Amino acid sequence: MNRFILSFFLIFSIMIGACEAQTDNKKGLNIEWELLENQLDADTYHQAQFVIENHSGQSIEAGWKLYFNSIFFDLKAQLENPGIELQHLAGDFFVLTGKGKEAAIPNGETLKISYRSRNPYLKNNHAPEAPIFTLANGTIVSDIQFEKSEMSVWELQNLAADSRLPIPTPARLFEQNEGLSLLPKEDLPPFLPSPKSWKINGETQWVTRAGLAVVGDKSFAEAATFLTKRIKENYNPEILKTEKPIQIRISQKDGFPSEGYSIEIRDRRVLILASDERGAFYGVQSFLGLQPADFWKGNTEGLLLPQISIEDSPAYSYRGFFLDVARNFQTKEEIFRILDLMALYKLNTFHFNLANDEGWRIEIESLPELTQYGSKRGFSEDEADFQWPFYGSGISSEETPGSGFYTQEDFKEILQYAKERQIEVIPEIGFPAHSRAAIKSMEKRYERFQKVGDLEKAEEFRLIDPDDQSEYLSAQNFRDNTVCVCKESVYHFFETVVMEMKGMYQEVGIPLKVFHTGGDEVPHGVWEKSPICQEFLAENKSLKQEDLGPYFRSRIGFFLKNEGIQQAGWEEIGQLVENGKVVPNPNFADRNWRLYAWNAVAGWEGEDMAYLLANAGFPVVISSSANYYFDLAYDWDPRERGHTWSGVGDMYQSWKTVPSKFFLSHDQTIDGAVWNWEEAKEKFENLSEEGKKNILGIQGQLWTETVKTPDMLEYYVIPKIFGLAQRAWEGDPTWASASNTEEKKALRQNEWNLFANQVAQLEVPRLEVFQGGYKIRIPAPGLKRVGDQVFANLQLPGLEIRYTSNGRVPSMQDSLYEGPIPYSPNLRFRAFSPNGQGSNVSQLED
């Protein structure tokens, strides 16, 4: 965080009234986390303290331990209390131990534990969470109340007053929204992603009580079945025989681009044409997209038949969404909802991260320990039966989001569900790093067979060199997350997992075409002190220490190729370091490895890596962290959860990308400096003609360290997914072809206004009822005071703003904002969707 050059620091003095009040009614332990100081200049830091109040009725003796989680906690934080020890256990899991006499907490007394961390505090969800307190004898204290300081957007604004950090105060939001205006609904494209062309042929018909006939050519029978099912789920009128029936035909016709289609609606006749099965399906989805939001509530009385002609096809063959369920698990039912969301917006590839350091989520019958141990997280001191409760997943090993896995039957259901929606599922099992759950699971298997004296079985799938003394720390702060690539048992493990997963695909009649092997973030220092690797290198004199990673990737790549499976991985599997710079690895350019170019922080000089790799010969999926990482916070408001390591990003950030001219995709760097398009263009790699062919498409990613529930998942994804879907289907926006910067920005604003209106007027109302309704993040209103008048506006024109004047949080029952209102110090504003999902509260600075 020291990239922020600031000169102002703010001291937060948090006065907790409860500390001074009577404590007769308090029970157990009250633990508070208080922010004391926060500084964002060249010497960044924050200072905070844990306040432990003992109301348990007995003295707490030294030897107690306070465990907590924090992704953002400094491993070298300095404690200011004698007798207290801080230890980093693994990942985001820490423990404070009260060792000295001064650590005792008599009943009714308070202990304050202060620390200083080298990083500033920017988000309320960056504070420690999920405390677990144990007594000296190991007993877990169950009665804990935990509170945390919270920072307002105004406090962060004051802290960052001299910085370029774009703090989203209501005034800044108002300025950002000023170019947006409400457009007539009839002027909007009919659905998202917007079709390439459409023409209105006549007045829209609202057809009620009419019969329905859906007929599909033999090759499009599945699309016809899907459409019939969808309509009948929502349209069940009492049919009048005198009403002319609705006739829908889905027919094959040569000449359409891959996945392209046309729709022609004349009177009550609907004709959908396509050359391939996916095109027919997308024609079906577009017809459903023409229906109003009320259609999805079920038992609709009629169907909407706009008299329209549509011609449409996608810019990219790969339109993907990645979901990590290893960090925090999501149920099969929520995966179905995500697949429905993807299908609705014509995304065709589901990249499914099923294993990582913190969890293994897919049943492998020949290796039961992977789910018996690796799928579970909970609290214990030694991880004997499950891993520690990373990401605040709690004490119990039986509850999500820390624990959970998909049985093979579950996974086959997911595959089938995806197939019905024309979505390919690409599984990811990351190697050689990000493998802690697998490593520890196979250690349990080793122990099981060792106990019965079967050493051959014990070693069969072991993933580590037990005598390895290598020292490393992974990106997520693990010291034991990388397999030993010099052991044959590692390859036996990998091949066993792949073959069993391939079998699951075969059982539902789907080929496993692509297997994502991860390959990212291999820590520095791995294998350097491994006796097994030293012996391996001695026997293979053509290899050096730095060749071990490429050797591993090459070997598993040949295995996958022999099985008819394309190897995929994050960009690292196709890179090497040359003269201190990361460049494409020419040794692998002819292997057809699919690379996902992700590490593209704006201002860190890796923004054009996707182009470098494509020009070198690799098939590439653009997965830019700066634009398509949905786990980034929406903005810098401290109330918005999420990561900030690659900046922040909302729907606008995903929408405004230009895939074939990516230098146009930014307006500022991560630290707020102006991003000059012309200067960036000069530095960017130019895509060659072959390179253009190697850009397969784009993908949005949701890593789930900070995502714990289905509602949170959907909040992080919607509405960002609209920008992704539009860009993946449309390709480069029209504005990117303008002749100069001024014209580009003017056209971009017009196109953005149109898109924002589509989202607000068409897609938000639809998703609030589609499949029972999705959780949607509603942007907060912008505010501006002019004299004694207060003006408000929205990022999504067409939604409502409601307000109160007594300081109370506005609800749907409060006053509707329809124009400027007189200023009063207690005004509070919120934006609302049609179904009442509300934004954060906006208020003028007191």
Task: Give the tokens for residue 469.
Answer: 């003394």
In the chain (846 residues long), the average pLDDT of successive 10-residue segments reads 33 34 66 94 90 95 97 92 95 96 95 95 95 96 93 92 90 97 97 97 94 95 96 92 95 97 97 98 98 91 95 98 98 98 98 98 98 98 97 94 98 98 98 98 98 98 98 97 98 98 98 98 97 98 96 98 98 95 96 97 94 98 97 97 95 97 95 93 96 98 97 98 98 97 97 98 97 97 97 98 97 98 96 98 90
pLDDT of residue 164: 87
For residue 112, being part of any structural domain is answered with yes
**Do 300 and 152 share a structural domain?**
no
Domain ranges, residue 444? 318-732
Q: Please tell me what DSSP assigns to residue 617.
A: T
Q: Is residue 144 a contact partner of residue 31, using CB atoms and an 8 Å limit?
A: yes
Q: Which residue has the tokens 């000089």?
A: 605
Query: CA 397, CA 387: separation in Å to the nearest integer?
Result: 9
Query: CA 190, CA 185: separation in Å to the nearest integer?
Result: 9
For residue 82, being part of any structural domain is answered with yes
Of 112, 151, 113, 145, give the one whose Cα is nearest residue 14: 151
Among 279, 295, 312, identify where a domain stops: 312
For residue 376, being part of any structural domain is answered with yes
**Do 360 and 237 share a structural domain?**
no
Domain total of the chain? 4
- 3-class DSSP state of 448: helix
Phi, psi of 457 (to 5 degrees): -65, -40
Please calculate the CA angle 770-343-336 and round it to the nearest 5 degrees.
Answer: 70
Please calculate the CA angle 677-679-681 and round it to the nearest 5 degrees.
Answer: 65
**Do 485 and 419 share a structural domain?**
yes
Q: Is residue 56 a contact partner of residue 29, using CB atoms and an 8 Å limit?
A: yes
pLDDT of residue 25: 61
Query: CA 739, CA 747: separation in Å to the nearest integer?
Result: 11
Query: CA 763, CA 76: separation in Å to the nearest integer?
Result: 46
Q: Is residue 585 a contact partner of residue 574, using CB atoms and an 8 Å limit?
A: yes
Q: Is residue 656 a contact partner of residue 722, using CB atoms and an 8 Å limit?
A: no
pLDDT of residue 16: 34
DSSP notation for 713-751: HHHHHTTHHHHHHHHHHH-S-GGGGSSSHHHHHHHHHHH
β-strands 424-431, 514-518 pairing: parallel
CATH number of the domain at 523, please.
3.20.20.80
**Do 139 and 211 share a structural domain?**
no
- 3-class DSSP state of 80: coil
- 3-class DSSP state of 84: strand
Options 61, 521, 528, 845, the catalytic residue: 521
Give catalytic status of residue 521 as yes or no: yes
**Do 360 and 242 share a structural domain?**
no
Query: CA 287, CA 310: separation in Å to the nearest integer?
Result: 10
CB-based contacts of 730, cutoff 8 Å, min separation 6: 193, 194, 196, 315
For residue 176, being part of any structural domain is answered with no
**Do 332 and 272 share a structural domain?**
no
Task: Give the tokens for residue 816.
Answer: 């509707």
For residue 3, being part of any structural domain is answered with no
State pLDDT tens for residues 72-102: 999 999 998 999 999 999 999 999 999 988 9
Query: CA 234, CA 249: separation in Å to the nearest integer?
Result: 19
Q: Which residues pair with 31 in a beta bridge?
A: 52, 146
Task: Give the tokens for residue 801.
Answer: 């703003």
Q: Which residues pair with 324 in a beta bridge?
A: 353
**Do 219 and 160 share a structural domain?**
no
CB-based contacts of 139, cutoff 8 Å, min separation 6: none
Task: Give the tokens for residue 585.
Answer: 């690895």
Task: Give the tokens for residue 505.
Answer: 């695909």
User: 548-562 and 488-507 are packed helices; what angle lies between their axes, rounded to 10 degrees?
Assistant: 30
CB-based contacts of 390, cutoff 8 Å, min separation 6: 69, 90, 91, 92, 93, 327, 357, 358, 377, 402
Among 266, 290, 312, identify where a domain stops: 312
User: 720-730 and 741-758 are packed helices; what angle lies between their axes, rounded to 10 degrees?
Assistant: 120
Of 758, 759, 822, 760, give the one whose Cα is nearest residue 789: 822
Q: Count of CB atoms within 10 A of residue 420's CB?
A: 16
Q: Is residue 130 a contact partner of residue 389, using CB atoms and an 8 Å limit?
A: yes
For residue 763, being part of any structural domain is answered with no
Q: Is residue 643 a contact partner of residue 706, using CB atoms and an 8 Å limit?
A: yes
Phi, psi of 185 (to 5 degrees): -60, -35
pLDDT of residue 27: 81
State pLDDT tens for residues 727-770: 999 999 999 999 999 999 999 999 999 999 999 999 999 999 99
State pLDDT tens for residues 619-652: 999 999 999 999 999 999 999 999 999 999 999 9
Query: CA 381, CA 52: separation in Å to the nearest integer?
Result: 21
Question: pTM of the prediction?
Answer: 0.95
Of 117, 146, 188, give the one whose Cα is nearest residue 51: 146
Query: CA 64, CA 366: separation in Å to the nearest integer?
Result: 41
Q: Is residue 114 a contact partner of residue 96, using CB atoms and an 8 Å limit?
A: no
**Do 655 and 613 share a structural domain?**
yes
User: 408-420 and 332-344 are packed helices; what angle lies between their axes, rounded to 10 degrees?
Assistant: 10
For 40-90, list the strands marked E by DSSP.
45-55, 65-69, 78-79, 84-90
The enclosing H or E element of 710 equals helix 710-717
**Do 722 and 596 share a structural domain?**
yes
Task: Give the tokens for residue 369.
Answer: 């320990």
Q: Give the torsion through C-alpha atoms of 754, 757, 758, 764, to 10 deg.
A: 160
Query: CA 573, CA 534: separation in Å to the nearest integer?
Result: 23
- 3-class DSSP state of 419: helix
CB-based contacts of 540, cutoff 8 Å, min separation 6: none
End-to-end CA distance of the chain: 29
Query: CA 777, CA 655: separation in Å to the nearest integer?
Result: 16
CATH number of the domain at 99, please.
2.60.40.290
Please calculate the CA angle 225-230-236 and round it to the nearest 5 degrees.
Answer: 110
Task: Give the tokens for residue 302.
Answer: 């009629």
Q: Is residue 92 a contact partner of residue 390, using CB atoms and an 8 Å limit?
A: yes
For residue 768, being part of any structural domain is answered with no
Phi-psi category of residue 267: left, alpha or beta, with phi > 0 → left and psi -120 to 50 → alpha: left
CATH number of the domain at 247, please.
3.30.379.10
- How would you class 205 by CB atoms within 10 Å of its CB: exposed for 0-12, middle for 13-18, buried for 19 or more? middle
Query: CA 652, CA 667: separation in Å to the nearest integer?
Result: 11
State pLDDT tens for residues 533-584: 999 999 999 999 999 999 999 999 999 999 999 999 999 999 999 998 999 9
**Do 813 and 711 share a structural domain?**
no
Of 320, 356, 323, 319, give the one whose Cα is nearest residue 703: 323
- How would you class 176 by CB atoms within 10 Å of its CB: exposed for 0-12, middle for 13-18, buried for 19 or more? middle
Q: Count of CB atoms within 10 A of residue 146's CB?
A: 16
Report in angstroms the alpha-carbon separations of 45 from 50, 546, 643, 657, 683: 17, 36, 18, 34, 34
For residue 516, being part of any structural domain is answered with yes
Q: Please tell me what DSSP assigns to residue 759.
A: I
Residue 356 CB-half CA count within 13 A: 25
**Do 338 and 304 share a structural domain?**
no
**Do 427 and 410 share a structural domain?**
yes
